[in-house]
Structure 1
Amino acid sequence: MKLLEEFWYGNIEPTDYDTSACKEYKEAFRLITKNEEKLLASMTDEQKDLFSRYTDAVREYQTMAECLLFQNSFKLGARMMIEVMEE
């Protein structure tokens, strides 16, 4: 129950990711940043505006997807706990 208490009192933030040790994550982020900079440098102001609206929509979609993933994972974890407690 300690974990649920920590979660209840806000000591655990489910959206925080510890990516400091993940080499693959760092490399993917580096490539995204590098390519975005190159792309923006070659765009007109109108294209930059469109690209900005596109990236905002993608971020919103990703946020919703992460929320749904968290909800489904939490439900699965709760079901697993119930099964373990029933045994």
Structure 2
Amino acid sequence: MRILEEFWYGNIEPIEYDTNACKEYKEVLRLIIRNEEKLLATMTDEQKELFSRYTDAVREYQTMAECLLFQNSFKLGARMMLEVMEE
């Protein structure tokens, strides 16, 4: 229960992931950055503005999706804990 206490008191932020240890995450992030830099180098200012609005919308969507995933995962975990405690 210690982790739930830490979460309750705000010592754990659910959006802070330890992605440093994940080799695959690092590789994909590096690829995204490299391709974005190449793409931006070929764009006009108008295209850059449109691309910026697009990436902002994608980030907002991803944030919402991560929030929903966290909520659903937390609910599932809570239901599992209740079942274990009832046994």
**Shared fold (TM-score, shorter chain, > 0.5):** yes
SS of 1:80 mapped into structure 2: helix
Residue 69 in structure 1 maps to residue 69 in structure 2:
yes
Q: Which runs of 5+ in 2 are unaligned?
A: none
Other-structure match for 2:81: 81
User: How far off is 1:3 after superposition?
Assistant: 1.9
User: How far off is 1:12 after superposition?
Assistant: 1.1
Q: Which amino acid aligns with 2:68?
A: L
Q: Which amino acid aligns with 1:73?
A: S
Other-structure match for 2:45: 45
TM-score by length of 2: 0.97
Other-structure match for 1:21: 21
User: How far off is 1:74 after superposition?
Assistant: 0.2
User: How far off is 1:35 after superposition?
Assistant: 0.3
Name the count of aligned residue pairs: 87
Q: Which amino acid aligns with 2:13?
A: E
- CA RMSD of superposed structures (Å): 0.7
TM-score by length of 1: 0.97
SS of 1:16 mapped into structure 2: coil
Matches of 2:52 and 2:79, distance apart in 1: 41
Residue 3 in structure 1 maps to residue 3 in structure 2:
yes
User: How far off is 1:33 after superposition?
Assistant: 0.3
Matches of 2:16 and 2:28, distance apart in 1: 18
User: How far off is 1:2 after superposition?
Assistant: 1.9
Matches of 1:23 and 1:32, distance apart in 2: 14
Matches of 2:80 and 2:2, distance apart in 1: 17
User: What is the identity percentage for the equivalent residue pairs of Structure 1 and Structure 2?
Assistant: 86
